[in-house]
Amino acid sequence: MLELSHLQVAILFALLASIVMGVVGRSSDRARVRYGLYCFGYFIGAVFVLGWLMRIGHG
Amino acid sequence: MVPKRGSSKGREETERKSSGTARKSPIVLPLVLAYLIPGAGHVYLKRHWHGLALLAAISGMFFCGILMQGRMFVPTSGNIYTTIMTYGGYIGDLCNGLLYVLTVGLGYEQETLPGALHDYGTKFIVCSGLLNLLAVVDVFEIVSGEKAES
């Protein structure tokens, strides 16, 4: 049984999804790494932005 | 004019011919392999590292979903929301290929549990199926020659 916090689950999902998107999304290895990092950054950015929006929205 | 053997033009022509041969290779087998085992289609196409990365990421997400005690969707007809949710989730689960078949075949069954983590697990299992579908589409693009390696 895996016991993870919400943030840990979100980071794990971002990491694994970014690997797949990096591999299938571009056609050269350098571009793959860059695109994977780009996706990971956007996932994490979205987690923080949406997290703060929910925090502010709930008061 | 026929390019000399060993010259750069000759090499280009040979590479073009060999890539033309690759395009004629069977299209179904790598697609079926990619569907059944995440990354196997890429390994079959001699892209070993890509295949291993896909295997690690997709099966990692699937097993994390199982470890979080995620639930497999069972197609249920009811109101429109239930039908779309359960059938959509079921299709996502099926996209995991052998991982799904083996897990269900070995008797994995999970009832709905309270708490967010189990729900995340359910979504992890569906998302791993959808990511596997992306890998299958990538294999199709490679085999059909739409995606060139640079």
Q: ipTM, 2 decimals?
A: 0.91
Domain ranges of chain B: 26-143
The string of pLDDT tens digits covering residues B87-104 is: 999 999 999 999 999 999
Q: Note whether residue A3 is domain-resident.
A: no
Q: Domain of A32?
A: 8-58
Integer-rounded Cα Rg, in Å, for chain B is: 21
CB within 8 Å: A20 and B117:
no
pTM of the model as a whole: 0.84
Give B43-47's long-range contacts (Cβ < 8 A, gap of 24+). B45/B139, B45/B142, B45/B143, B47/B142
Residue B106's identity, in one-letter code, is: L
In a domain, A2, yes or no: no
**Has residue A22 been placed in a domain?**
yes
Å between B114 CA and nearest CA of chain A: 14
Residues of chain A found within 8 Å of residue B119, distances taken between Cβ atoms:
none
Span B9-68, pLDDT tens digits:
555 555 554 454 445 568 899 999 999 999 999 999 999 999 999 999 999 999 999 999
Domains identified in chain A, total number = 1
Domain assignment present for residue A1? The answer is no
